[in-house]
Amino acid sequence: MQSRERFCSTINHRQPDRVVIDFGSTSVTGIHVLPVEKLRKYYGLESRPVRVIEPYQMLGLIEDDLIAAMGIDIVGAWGMNNMFGIYNHGPMKELTTFWGQTVLVPDGFNITDDENGDWLAYPGGDVTAPPSSRMPRAGYFFDAIIRQEPFDEETPDVRHNLEEFVPISEKELSFWKESARNARATGKAVIAGLGGTALGDIALVPAVQLKHPKGIRDIAEWYISTLIRPDYVKAIFERQTEIALGNLRRINEVAGDDLDAVYVCGTDFGTQGSTFCSPEQFDDLWLPYYRRINDWIHSNTGWKTFKHSCGAVESLMSRFIDAGFDIINPVQLSAAGMDPVYLKREYGKDLVFWGGGIDTQRTLPYGKPEQVREEVLRQCDILGKDGGFVFSTVHNIQANVPLENIVAMIEAVRELA
């Protein structure tokens, strides 16, 4: 099988010739720039600075030569701007990181040092605006700076939390057309995060791309609002969904046939041991809007829909199915109730498990290479039966994961070819 054929089989719950592999196609299945550089060296590829494809998490672009070396089957069609609202493509410039690596970032990506020597990043790259993110000197990625402005606690204005959700521009539409076409030309399966469909994704609530975000932008205040201001949150989701459906319709007209899957939402519903909300609250607050988005996609396109949620979300799996999601990511093995045997048996006929190939909290960063191999083979055996499994780690591969463990993981998957 070729990569896209392999993907289509597994995504439709048919056994492919081997496990489908994804590294780097999305913002939650990526690899930090540091191990990307180490992997390029390990495979004897041309030495050059790694391009930062997602600067908030400092994820590295997996270029075609490394895709081939790692046996990757899926590529991402990336949008015009990054999370900071900066044009994310050429021209690029070099940046030397705190850990001594030289990487490539977009020309509009600007940083300054604060009084502690930490890096500050800015919305739109505008250093005259208040900084929206910080990378500590000992860190490897950015954290959002909460810039919560005063708001009317009795009658907050819904429009303020909708500032970043707007009809797609002709320029963006043209970019998606080209990005999707280029991704399709690789012969790989293609996934895209088209934007606008993330309902309350806590990574996006602080709006690091906006210079002066209004509305409820504090993370704690947002979680509180889902309990004490549900009508306000519903009003945001209602209008956001209307705008998103209009944008999806237009993107589908120019790029629909070049996409196989779309990243709909990255809202996390799980902690290490439980969920952020009850199933009943999920039914009331999120499910109707997810269903509208997924129903439109399934009625008008051939795309499969991808839902990201970390944590202990077994109790919500049936709700994800009811909401129309085809794919769940990342399958956090170390969280309570996330036993892969049980998940595959109970939900494997309806959900594709994208991730869960190896635990990134313990085994991959701290285990021995032989432990990595054993876990990979075990997870592939459990989750890969009868298709419905895309191999990736549980969330992104972080900066200091030992190279020998990453290589052991890749080689273990290849044993199954």
Q: Are residues 133 and 210 in the same domain?
A: no
Same domain, 318 and 343: yes
Both 23 and 45 in a single domain? no
**Do 285 and 367 sit in the same domain of this protein?**
yes
Boundary-marking domain end, from 145, 166, 181: 145
**CA–CA dist 127, 111 (Å, integer):** 7
Same-domain check for residues 191 and 295 = yes
Residue with tokens 């492919």: 16
CA atoms within 13 A on the CB side of 141: 22
Among the ranges given (12-21, 147-156, 266-275), the one the predictor scored with the smallest mean pLDDT: 147-156
pLDDT score at 154: 86
CATH of the domain at 301: 3.20.20.210
With a CB cutoff of 8 Å and minimum separation 6, the contacts of 295 are 324
What would the pLDDT profile of 191-240 be if each residue is shown by its tens digit?
Answer: 999 999 999 999 999 999 999 999 999 999 999 999 999 999 999 999 99
Closest CA to 331 of 339, 321, 322, 320: 339
Computed over its alpha carbons, how large is the radius of gyration of the chain?
20
Three-state secondary-structure class, residue 417: coil
pLDDT digits (tens, 9 = 90+) for 307-354: 999 999 999 999 999 999 999 999 999 999 999 999 999 999 999 999
Residue 358 has pLDDT above 80, yes or no: yes
> Could you give the number of structural domains in the chain?
2
Q: How far apart are CA 158 and CA 378, in angstroms?
A: 48
Instruction: Calculate the average pLDDT of the chain.
Output: 97
- Whether residue 112 sits in one domain with residue 14: no
DSSP sequence for 343-410: HHHHHTTT-EEES-SS-TTTHHHHS-HHHHHHHHHHHHHHHTTTS-EEE--SS-B-TTS-HHHHHHHH
Of 145, 163, 181, the position where a domain reaches its end is 145
Strand order in the sheet with 389-391: 20-21, 389-391, 352-354, 327-329, 304-308, 261-265, 189-192, 74-77
Write out pLDDT tens, residues 93-147.
999 999 999 999 999 999 999 999 999 999 999 999 999 999 999 999 999 999 9
**Domain end among 145, 162, 191:** 145
Asked whether residue 282 falls in the same domain as residue 157, the answer is yes
DSSP state of 96: E
User: For position 318, what pLDDT does the model report?
Assistant: 98
pLDDT over 70 percentage in the chain: 100
Question: What 3-state DSSP class applies to 224?
Answer: helix
Question: What's the one-letter identity of residue 96?
Answer: T
Note the pLDDT of residue 61: 98
- Could you tell me if 110 and 26 lie in one domain? no
> Do 326 and 345 share a domain, yes or no?
yes
> How much is the pLDDT for 416?
86
Q: Say whether both 297 and 411 belong to one domain.
A: yes
| Contact assessment for residue 263 and residue 295, using Cβ atoms and an 8 Å cutoff | no
Write a three-state SS string for 171-218.
HHHHHHHHHHHHHHCCCCEEEECCCCCCCCCCCCCCCCCCCCCCCCCC
Rounded Cα distance, 182 and 174, in Å:
13
At 223 the pLDDT is: 96
Q: What is the mean pLDDT of residues 145-167?
A: 95
Share above pLDDT 90 across residues of the chain, in percent, rounded to a whole number:
98
pTM of the model: 0.97
Q: What is the pLDDT of residues 250-277, one digit of tens each?
A: 999 999 999 999 999 999 999 999 999 9
- Give the dihedral sign, CA 259/261/264/268: negative
Question: Count of CB atoms within 10 A of residue 360's CB?
Answer: 21
| Sign of the four-CA dihedral 87, 89, 95, 99 | positive
Only one residue has tokens 């939900």, namely: 347
Domain membership of residue 45 as a residue range: 31-69+80-145
64 and 23 in a common domain:
no
Q: Say if residues 217 and 147 touch (Cβ distance below 8 Å).
A: yes
| Residue 417 pLDDT > 80 | no
- Domain identity same for 64 and 14: no
Residues 86 and 106: their CA atoms lie apart, in Å, by 8
Both tokens of 228, joined, read 């004490």
Give the pLDDT band (50/70/90) at residue 249.
very high
